[in-house]
Amino acid sequence: MSGARPPVTTVTDALTVRVPATSANLGPGFDALAVALDVHMTASVAERDRCRVHVDGCGVDELPDDEGNLVWRAFAAYCGWAGVPVPDVSLRASSDIPLERGMGSSSAAAVAGAALARALVAGTPGARRADDAELVRLVAPFEGHADNAAAAVLGGLVVCTNGRVLRLEPSAALRPVLCIPEQRLATSLARGLLPDVVAHADAAANGARAAVVLAGLAGAVAWDPAAMHDVLHEPARFAAMPDSGRLVGTLREAGVAACLSGAGPAVLAVVASGDPGVLARIRAAAGHGWRVRPSRWDRSGAAVHRRAAVGCEDATR
Alpha-carbon span 45 to 92, nearest angstrom? 6
Please tell me the CATH code under which domain 170-294 is placed.
3.30.70.890
Alpha-carbon span 198 to 105, nearest angstrom? 29
Alpha-carbon span 85 to 38, nearest angstrom? 34
Residue-wise pLDDT for 22-65, tens only, equals 999 999 999 999 999 999 999 999 999 999 999 999 999 899 99
Alpha-carbon span 177 to 13, nearest angstrom? 37
Instruction: Compute the half-sphere exposure of residue 277: CA atoms within 13 Å on the CB side of its CA.
Output: 3
What are the residues whose beta carbons fall under 8 Å from the beta carbon of 122, sequence distance 6 or more? 129
Q: What is the DSSP string of 101-150?
A: SSS-HHHHHHHHHHHHHHHHHTT-TT-----HHHHHHHHGGGTTSSHHHH
Residue-wise pLDDT for 108-140, tens only, equals 999 999 999 999 999 899 999 999 999 999 999
What are the residues whose beta carbons fall under 8 Å from the beta carbon of 123, sequence distance 6 or more? none
Alpha-carbon span 130 to 109, nearest angstrom? 18
Asked if the domains 13-167+298-309 and 170-294 are classified in one and the same CATH topology, the answer is no
Residue-wise pLDDT for 258-309, tens only, equals 999 999 999 999 999 999 899 999 999 999 999 999 999 999 999 999 875 4
Q: Are 304 and 15 in contact (CB under 8 A)?
A: yes
Q: What is the DSSP string of 5-45?
A: PPPBPP--EEEEEEEEEEEESTTT-TTTEEEEEEEEEEEEE
Alpha-carbon span 72 to 99, nearest angstrom? 17
The answer, yes or no, to whether residue 312 has pLDDT greater than 70, is no
Domain ranges of the chain: 13-167+298-309, 170-294
Alpha-carbon span 290 to 181, nearest angstrom? 4
The answer, yes or no, to whether residue 255 has pLDDT greater than 70, is yes
**pTM (predicted TM-score):** 0.91
Q: What pLDDT is recorded for position 13?
A: 57
Please tell me the CATH code under which domain 13-167+298-309 is placed.
3.30.230.10
